[in-house]
Structure formats: C-alpha cells, structure tokens
C-alpha cells in the first residue's frame, strides 16, 4: 500500500505495479496524480482496489487520473470516509465494479466522514458503477458520480 497523507503530494508517472492487493490511499488534504501508469491487483475485496481517496472530518484526499491502465476488483474505490477522484483519462477494468463510491462512517475519534465524489471527464470503463451510502443518521454525507 502506498499512502499520501496530511497535505502531502504523491505523483506517479510511468510506473507498472502488479500486486496481489491494493491500495493507493490519499487522505486528509493530500493530493495524488497518476499519469501513464499500469496497476493491476488480484483479489475481490475493497482492499484490492487501486485508487482510494479518504479523509475524516477535514478536507478529504484528492486523486487525479490523467492516463494509464488500472485493473482490479475495484480500480476506483472512494472509501467510506470520503474523498475525491478526478478522472481525465485512462482505462479502468473492474471485476466487481469499475467505480465504487461510498460514504457515511465515523472514525474512532468520532469525526464524521466526508462526501465520496468521482468526477469523470474522460476514460474507458469496464465493469459496474456503484454508489453506496452507509446508514448512520448523524452522518450527513453523500456519494456522487459526476459525468462531465
């Protein structure tokens, strides 16, 4: 797992990564970008996802995918703690779902999660697109998929 946290910046260009588990997580004010990468993971659970922003109670992590190929159970998986993915281009093949956007949880400190958002401005997708909101009456979050 690669992580960019707390106002960090993670830029991946031209890497090839084949693993039996994911994920590349970006959280809490951090930003990441993927350009011309090839990432493939095995497995069929959320932990085999590749691109996974998250963030509790503060501005969530943001990931921008410019190009490349991403294959897993969930190539894009916005964790229940929320986050943002901006898709400019790339190929996404999901054996369970190409895009999974979830929201609605609390961390151990009781901080509310952020909204889960995926903005699509390009790219090729193979697999289902899923939006889920975990029920918790005190967590006012949404799961959003914007196609631009």
Instruction: Tell me which residue of 45, 6, 5 sits closest to 24, measured CA to CA.
Output: 5
Res. 142: pLDDT tops 80: no
User: For 103-132, what is the mean pLDDT?
Assistant: 74
Instruction: Give the pLDDT confidence of 6-54 residue by residue, as tens digits.
Output: 556 778 899 898 887 766 666 665 788 899 999 898 877 777 778 888 7
HSE (side-chain half, CA atoms, 13 Å) at 148: 11
Beta strands in 22-90 (DSSP E): 24-27, 31-35, 37-41, 51-54, 62-65, 68-72, 76-78, 83-87
User: For 116-126, what is the mean pLDDT?
Assistant: 90
Give me the pLDDT at residue 87, please. Answer: 94
Give me the pLDDT at residue 70, please. Answer: 94
User: For 140-146, what is the mean pLDDT?
Assistant: 62
Give me the pLDDT at residue 138, please. Answer: 47
pLDDT above 70 coverage of the chain, percent: 68
Band of pLDDT at residue 139, cut at 50, 70 and 90: very low
Instruction: Give the pLDDT confidence of 43-83 residue by residue, as tens digits.
Output: 777 777 788 887 655 667 788 999 999 999 999 988 777 78
User: For 136-143, what is the mean pLDDT?
Assistant: 51
H helix count then E strand count, the chain? 0, 17
Whole-angstrom distance, CA of residue 61 vs CA of residue 7: 9
Instruction: Give the pLDDT confidence of 100-117 residue by residue, as tens digits.
Output: 887 655 554 454 556 778
């Amino acid at each position: 797992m690669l992580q960019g946290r707390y106002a960090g910046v993670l830029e991946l260009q031209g890497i090839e990564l084949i693993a039996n588990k994911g994920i590349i997580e970006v959280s809490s004010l951090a930003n990441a970008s993927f350009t011309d990468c090839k990432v493939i993971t095995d497995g069929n659970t959320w932990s085999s996802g590749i691109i996974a922003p998250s963030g509790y109670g503060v501005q969530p992590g943001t990931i921008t995918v410019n190009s490349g190929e991403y294959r897993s159970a969930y190539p894009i998986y916005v964790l229940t703690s929320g986050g943002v993915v901006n898709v400019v281009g790339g190929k996404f093949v999901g054996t369970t779902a190409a895009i999974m956007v979830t929201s609605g949880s609390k961390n151990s400190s009781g901080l509310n999660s952020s909204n889960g958002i995926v903005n699509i401005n390009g790219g090729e997708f193979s697999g289902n697109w899923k939006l889920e909101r975990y029920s918790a009456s005190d967590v006012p979050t949404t799961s959003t998929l914007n196609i631009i």
